[in-house]
A and B are shown apart, each in its own frame.
Chain A
Amino acid sequence: AQTVTQSQPEMSVQEAETVTLSCTYDTSESDYYLFWYKQPPSRQMILVIRQEAYKQQNATENRFSVNFQKAAKSFSLKISDSQLGDAAMYFCAYRSAWEIGNQFYFGTGTSLTVIP
């Protein structure tokens, strides 16, 4: 099984500021996908952004962007112009391109607090 590590259990950011959440993973595969999910207090898991390992260009979705460093096996999430609604638990996830079952491997999460 692959391992995903989120070394920051908790982070905080001032409203309108930028914050970066870290994620590293361990794999011997060359083809895979990486995701960031958001889990607000409602506990509903919401897909924030995804990245294909074969793409060198970093994915961007509005205020959310990633810094994907394949050689370093690093996949950080940057949230710009933070809003109160961004407060949530954020999970980094890995998915093999070839593994039967397509299961995701999740990190332990980073709890983000947005300070007004």
Chain B
Amino acid sequence: GAVVSQHPSRVICKSGTSVKIECRSLDFQATTMFWYRQFPKQSLMLMATSNEGSKATYEQGVEKDKFLINHASLTLSTLTVTSAHPEDSSFYICSARDRGVFTEAFFGQGTRLTVV
């Protein structure tokens, strides 16, 4: 099946620094990718929808200046957490669906971000 690769799997950063998370679709082209955030013992909350070649669409309550999303190609989307603070510590997961209809969503392995 299709594979979505997310990197890094774990990252620890100091408060005030920025962290970039990459999401790649390895064997299909994803015009749209999705970024989710998951708090411990909770469900996945959609943060934003990333469209290739255009600006991302953010969900209500998500700070677009803090969570910068770039989708420069059909196989790569990046999420940059800017000026990270401890409350940004979370599990971030990207997802992509192959183009067309009747397609499932494939998920990356997730990134555990810890801000100290």
Whether A and B are associated in the same complex: the answer reads no
